[in-house]
Homo-oligomer: A and B are copies of this chain.
Amino acid sequence: MEPVLDIMARAPLFNGLSRDQLEALHAIGTVHMAEKGQTIFEEGEAADGFYVLLFGKIKVYKSSMDGKEHILHILGPGEPFGEVPVFIGANFPATAVATTPSKLLFFPRKRFIDLISQNPSIALGMIGLLCLRLKEFTHQIENLALKDVAARLASYLLALLRDQRTSSNRSIRLTISKSQLAGVLGTVPETLSRVFSRLSSAGYIRVQGPEITVLNPEGLQEVVTSGKWG
């Protein structure tokens, strides 16, 4: 298993920190394990610290009483979560569940705030992270409020294509199940499935299980911006 410090060093939050600073951080954190399906924290629970994911995959979501859930984030190694209530002294605003066996680093609230108060570079890292989250959320709100499901999916696929651009090819692999993707896009599996087949038969993409080939990126972009296609 890769050393904890190396994973931390790669996390954007801790970008540009010296080895000494990382050691100091590591010293105030405690390692936790979570098995698949385990709840890390639940919406409304009191928060006395936050987590950094070292290994595994976490989904953070909101759910309504009638069982529907909307996924806010799917997190991979190096990403922090549950940081919001640390700074406003409130409860967790959402629920976090491990979707694979995971390893977490937990930072207690008070000690982390002390550290940050003396360490402007960590503070700036935290600010950068929060701004990134805000931008993502802005995008999510925009999608939910003004775009239809096809546009949301197209936007998601183009983002994936941008991120996992393995040199030249236009094939991407979904890192989450289609049901989960439906949750991320604010819809249900049935609808997502239909949209996939509409985009397929329109010739924009080809779908083979979790393998998506983008045949016509410009077309997808059209779907995102104008919502019309053909």
Q: Which A residues form the contact surface with B (CB < 8 A)?
A: 62-66, 68-70, 72, 83-88, 90, 93-94, 113, 116-121, 123-124, 126-128, 130-135, 137-142, 144-147, 186, 225-227
A207 to B4 CA separation, bound complex (whole angstroms)? 58
Q: How many copies does the complex hold?
A: 2
Task: Verify A135–B62 contact, CB threshold 8 A.
Answer: no
A198 to B92 CA separation, bound complex (whole angstroms)? 33
- How near does chain B come to A59, taking the closest CB pair, in angstroms? 14
Task: Verify A130–B134 contact, CB threshold 8 A.
Answer: yes
What is the interface of chain A mostly: helix, strand, loop, or mixed? helix
If A117-B124, A127-B127, A141-B140 touch, whether A134 touches B135 (CB-CB below 8 Å) is: no
27 residue pairs from A and B, CB less than 8 Å apart: A62-B141, A64-B147, A65-B226, A66-B227, A68-B146, A70-B145, A72-B141, A84-B131, A84-B135, A86-B131, A87-B131, A88-B131, A88-B135, A116-B120, A116-B123, A117-B121, A117-B124, A118-B120, A119-B120, A130-B131, A134-B137, A137-B137, A137-B138, A137-B141, A140-B141, A141-B141, A145-B186
